[in-house]
Chain A
Amino acid sequence: AQKITQTQPGMFVQEKEAVTLDCTYDTSDPSYGLFWYKQPSSGEMIFLIYQGSYDQQNATEGRYSLNFQKARKSANLVISASQLGDSAMYFCAMENSNYQLIWGAGTKLIIKP
């Protein structure tokens, strides 16, 4: 069965520090995509970063980078130089062969000033 696991229900991080949010996945599909979304308290899901299963390099988008370890089936999100506005829920998701996104339970990140 396809599954996304986020083992950190919540995290507190000091402003300006880097933070790593964990995500492991389980799939038998040879081709898949991994996504990270941010959901502030307003509710909107904001796309952050994408990693394809065949991509050779780790994805980066500004302060976001994805530490993709295919053999370990992990796709951790790294946020560098955290800011107060980064406080939100963060979801890891995997697109399966039916174009459905399978979601983790999320990690609540709180940035402390």
Chain B
Amino acid sequence: DTGVSQDPRHKITKRGQNVTFRCDPISEHNRLYWYRQTLGQGPEFLTYFQNEAQLEKSRLLSDRFSAERPKGSFSTLEIQRTEQGDSAMYLCASSLVLAGEQETQYFGPGTRLLVL
């Protein structure tokens, strides 16, 4: 069983460029989450998918951010016109939600973004 994977692990970009991150969840997990974490803070929820449907988006997710999970498997998070304030660790998590059972989110290694 290969856990959640994320690609790339590190990304350095110039302000104004677009970046895209990919997350591959644990197979058969039906929920997928994106979080952002800055230094010295806990993660902040960005959005989540139930299969291919995006069910919740944080107000942190400005119109420059878009996330997709087209076939209910892997997901991409795109940031357009990056700003220095977007520099953070972007974490992806997945879970298997079954009726009446506890949900546990399992995290990937994260993508560290640095915007110069």
Contact = CB atoms under 8 A, between A and B. Distances in A.
A85 interface: no
B42 A44 contact: no
A47 B105 contact: yes
A56 interface: no
A93 B91 CA distance: 15
Interface of A: 4, 33, 35, 37, 42-47, 50, 52, 91, 93, 95, 98-106
Nearest to B31: A99
Nearest to A6: B42
Contact of A101 (B89, B105, B108): B105
Contact of B106 (A47, A91, A93, A102): A47
Interface size class of B (residues with CB under 8 A): 20 to 34
Nearest to A46: B107
Contacts of B41: 105-106
A103 B56 contact: no
Interface in B36-67: 40-45, 48, 56
Given A43-B89, A103-B44, 9 more contacts: A43-B110, A43-B112, A45-B107, A47-B104, A52-B102, A91-B42, A100-B56, A101-B105, A105-B41
Contacts of A43: 89, 109-110, 112
